Amino acid sequence: MASSPTFAPLISWTLLVFQSLEFGHSEALTNVSCFGMEREALLKFRQGLIDHSKRLSSWTSKDCREWKGIECSKKTGHIFKLDLRNSCFETSPNGYMSCLDKSSLAGKIHASLAELKHLKYLDLSLNKFSKQKIPQFLGTLQRLEYLNLSSADFDGNIPHHLDWFSSINMLSSLQSLQLRGCSLEKLPHSLSVNFTSLRFLDLSWNLINSTIRFYNFSKLQHIDLRVNHLKGAFPRTLFDNNQQLSFLDASRNLLGGQILKNFSSLYKLRELRLAFNNFDGDVGNSIHGPLESAQTRQLESFKDLEYRSLSQNSIWGPIPVTLGELSSLTESDLSHNKLSGNIPESIGRLSSLEMLDITNNSLNRVVSESHFANLTSLTELSISSNELVLSFDPAWVSPFRVQWIDMSGCDLGPKFPLWLQTQRNISYLYMSNANISDEIPNWLSDISLNVIDLALDNNMLRGPISRLDGNKMQLLQILSLSGNGLSGSMPNSLCAMKNLILLGDNRLSGQITNSLCHMKQLEVLILHKNGFDQVLPKCLSNLTNLRLLDLSDNNFTGEIPSFGRHSRSLVVIDLEKNSFTGGIPSQLCQLNYLQFLSLAQNNISGSIPSCFNGFLSMVGDINYQSYWMYSPSIIVMVNTKGTSRIYDKTLRFFHSIDLSANNLNGEISEELTRLVELQNLNLSRNNLSGKIPSNIGIHLHTVDDESVYRGNDELCGALF
């Protein structure tokens, strides 16, 4: 999930700085008015701003101490704080952005702010200053301790005179510098100044593409460099000089080299986030350095480590036994690396651990209840895509209550894990490809009252699908049971699903009833390779949110529903290998987003509609993608050049029409030549006639393949 950064984690530190600004003022003189020169400076500043939301409407009274966003010293009367950050706190993402736009200050920042010689705190974040340069006068605010210009739409080129505040010798009191989302592109090559007071540095969500260069930052406690293009290795001085460091986030960069061996000097480190980089080396070194006689002493340095994320790197080796000594650890993410060997039982001692993610490694061997013995705080467990065998005593009762559990790809079978019966807080349960050959237990519906996603695909489940009671799963949005041996008809209770139903490759049968049409939020319906029959309900064409429909390889009869005006969200329609009759509905041409259509191997007759240029996605006029197109559970079989190929995550890049093995007649419409995004076309084994358009398929992967048109005896053209 890149989205606009949030600022909640900064609040506590901001309050800490603010509380320290006015120390020693218990003998404050409360009747001191603000100074006229400072008041005039603020009025000039306001004249340059655009304030649609009237946030500065209070800036009219004679005493500027009463103005919103202004704080004056009770002792001297001088303005020491100017806080004009956008104060929108909407929780909904859409509402939040709308609120930000409505309440943002805009315009230009007047140089009169330089008159505020006693200013210690300046926050202009989350406004819209229309790509103007970062103000030059900031380097003259000698008493400034807190500066926040984050996400305020400044131009990313910091003025030369600042050169990353190379005039910082005039800002020697600066403790917090926040330039998040300022489009910064580089760090200076050298710093001749000392950031000896700086404690909080946030340069995240920028475009910085240089190496990391930090010099005399001896008091840094918080460094946030996430989501940049930083490259190279960390400089050793960063660790040698910053033993107060408690937070380091350099995730989503291009950093590399061996995973750091000198963290042992950072004895106050609480959060370490290095995910999505190019680090390699032994994972043991990221915790305590190479195993040596000083191991115990070094581990003492990490008693406060609470969060560690090293995912999406190339870290190798076994998970060290000493991981169990990190008693404060609450979250550990080592996913998508090259870890091997077993999971140490010592991990079961981490009573504070809330999240463990070791997904997609090469871990193997047996995992037993001893690995979870004291994980009383665990709420998220992800161990999928490894070679682990889970073996638990049938009577074991887990000490945790998870909300997210992903054990896909592990060997859990042959029965459903009985310890799951006590997990009544689960929202996301993934056990795909887990070697389970069992009937669906009755208790699975009972523990799924809060489940949103349930994935049990590619196991060997058997028995009636009706054992899964949809009436007890009112929150369920995604149900994935494809690739099993489930039987029976599709229960009406499952028609309460919200978004995705994946039941392909089972032994289901019977008729699809009108109940399915009540699923107004349904986006994906996959029922391929079953035994469904009879006529499809016409109301399927009224599912306005449906994106993908795969009913291939069944026994459906009757005419194809008139998907069109009410089905314009459809991207994929796969109805091949059925017994549909009648013609191709012309309403299909209204599906502007359609990029995959297969009606192959049916009994469809008539001509190819001349309006296929209405598939604007194939014409190249629009581009549409949906989150489900990134799901590994979404697969479509494509027949091209005489072979079959599976498309899963790459489906979003593929455009195809397959009308082969039907009874279509007439000529090939010139309109097909406009589908410039089309990569696969199969019209073989029909009764088409006339000349193949000379400019059809210049862009096609199959243009020079005679098999695309084979079986149409009346066709003529260069290929014949």
We report the CATH number of the domain holding residue 644 as 3.80.10.10
What's this model's pTM, rounded to 2 decimal places? 0.86
Residue that wins the pLDDT comparison between 474 and 31: 474
**If you average pLDDT over every residue of the chain, what do you get?**
84
- DSSP designation for 547: -
Beta-bridge mates of residue 325: none
H-run or E-run covering 36: helix 36-47
Do 375 and 383 meet the contact criterion of CB atoms below 8 Å apart? no
For 53-91, b/e burial (b = at least 16 CB within 10 A) is eebbeebeeeebbebebbbbbbbebbbbbbbbbbebeee
Residue 111 in domain: yes
Look at residue 221 in the predicted model and tell me its pLDDT.
Answer: 94
Instruction: Write down which residue in 176, 193, 208 finishes a domain.
Output: 208
- The model's pLDDT over 535-546, given as tens digits with 9 standing for 90+, comes to 999 999 999 999
pLDDT score, position 4: 43
Residue 449's closest CA among 431, 420, 433, 471?
A: 471
Which of 152, 176, 208 corresponds to the end of one domain?
Answer: 208
Amino acid at 472: K
pLDDT category of residue 296 using cuts at 50, 70 and 90 = very low
pLDDT higher than 60, residue 15: no
Residue for token digits 């008539």? 606
Q: How far is CA 602 from CA 166, 554, 581, 583, 633, in A?
A: 73, 11, 7, 11, 26
Look at phi and psi of residue 301 and say left if phi exceeds 0, alpha if psi is from -120 to 50, else beta. Answer: alpha
308 found inside a domain: no
State phi, psi for 694 to the nearest 5 degrees. -65, -30
Q: Is the pLDDT of residue 699 over 80?
A: no
Strand, coil or helix: what is 44? helix
Most confident of the following: 282-296, 365-379, 468-482:
365-379
Q: What's the pLDDT score for residue 535?
A: 94
**Which residues are paired to 646 by β-bridges?**
637
What would the two tokens of residue 554 be?
A: 């069944």
Lowest mean pLDDT among 160-169, 280-289, 331-340, 671-680: 160-169
Looking at residue 313, its pLDDT comes to 94
Query: Among 195-199, 311-315, 511-515, 636-640, which stretch is predicted with the lowest mean pLDDT?
Result: 636-640
How many angstroms separate the Cα of 50 from the Cα of each of 132, 135, 362, 511?
14, 17, 57, 63
Per-residue confidence (pLDDT) for residue 532, from 0 to 100: 96
Which of 173, 208, 243 is the last residue in one of the domains? 208
Query: Containing H/E element for 272?
Result: strand 271-273
Domain annotation covers residue 416: no
pLDDT band, very low/low/confident/very high, at 212 (cuts 50, 70, 90) = confident
Residue 552's nearest CA partner among 523, 524, 530 is: 530
Give a yes or no: residue 284 inside a domain.
no
The Cα 359–Cα 362 span in angstroms is: 9
Q: Helix, strand, or coil here: 472? A: helix
The pLDDT score that the predictor gives to residue 189 is 63
For residue 633, what are the domain limits? 511-716
Please list the residues that pair with 200 across neighbouring strands.
Answer: 176, 222
Percent of the chain at pLDDT > 70 equals 82
Q: Is the per-residue pLDDT at 630 higher than 50? A: no
Lowest model confidence (mean pLDDT) among 429-438, 516-525, 553-562, 650-659: 650-659
The per-residue pLDDT for 460 is: 97
Average pLDDT for 543-553: 93
User: If you search the block for the tokens 């006689």, which residue do you land on?
Assistant: 293
Question: Could you tell me if residue 224 is inside a domain?
Answer: no
Neighbours of 673 (CB within 10 A): 17
The residues, any chain, with a CB within 8 Å of residue 657's CB and separated by 6 or more, are 597, 598, 612, 618, 675, 678, 680, 681, 682
Range in 173-182, 321-330, 494-503, 656-665 the model is least confident about: 494-503
**For 279-332, where are the alpha helices, taking DSSP H only?**
295-300
**395 occurs within a structural domain:** no
Q: How many CB atoms lie within 10 A of CB 438?
A: 15
**Domain total for the chain?**
2
